[in-house]
A and B are shown apart, each in its own frame.
Chain A
Amino acid sequence: MSKIKSTLIGIVLLFTIWILLAGNSQQELLFGGITVILLTLLFQKKFLVLEDIKLNPKSISYMVIFFFVFLWELFKANIDVAKRVISPKLPINPGIVKVKTKLKSPLGRAFLANSITLTPGTLTVEMKDEYFYIHWIDVKVDDIEGATKSIVSNFEKYLEVIFG
Chain B
Amino acid sequence: MPLLGSIITLIGSIFLFLGALGIFRMPDVYNRMQAGTKATTLGTILFLLGISFGHAECGCLGKIVILILFVIFTNPVSSNALARAAHFAGIKLTKRSVKDDLGNDNLENKGGEK
Contacts and interface: CB of A to CB of B under 8 A. Distances in A.
B19 to A, nearest CB: 8
Contact of B77 (A74, A86, A114, A142): A114
Contacts of B37: 117-118, 123
A1 B105 CA distance: 41
B34 A121 contact: yes
B6 interface: no
B80 A94 contact: no
Contacts of A84: 22
Contacts of B102: 96, 98, 125-126, 133
A81 B18 contact: yes
Contacts of B22: 81, 84-85
Contacts of B27: 90, 92
A72 to B, nearest CB: 12
A48 interface: no
A35 interface: no
A20 B60 CA distance: 9
B38 A81 contact: yes
B31 A96 contact: no
A96 B76 contact: no
B18 A97 contact: no
A21 interface: yes
Contact of A125 (B15, B26, B77, B84): B84
A24 B98 contact: no
Contacts of B25: 85, 90
B90 interface: no
A98 B37 CA distance: 20
Interface in B52-66: 59-60, 62-63, 65-66
A93 interface: yes
30 contacts: A20-B63, A23-B59, A77-B38, A78-B43, A81-B19, A86-B21, A90-B26, A92-B96, A93-B98, A94-B96, A95-B100, A96-B87, A96-B99, A96-B102, A98-B101, A114-B77, A117-B37, A117-B75, A117-B79, A118-B38, A118-B75, A123-B37, A124-B76, A125-B30, A126-B84, A126-B87, A128-B107, A133-B102, A135-B31, A137-B34
6 smallest CB-CB distances across A and B, nearest first, come from: A20-B62, A117-B76, A95-B98, A98-B101, A85-B22, A114-B76
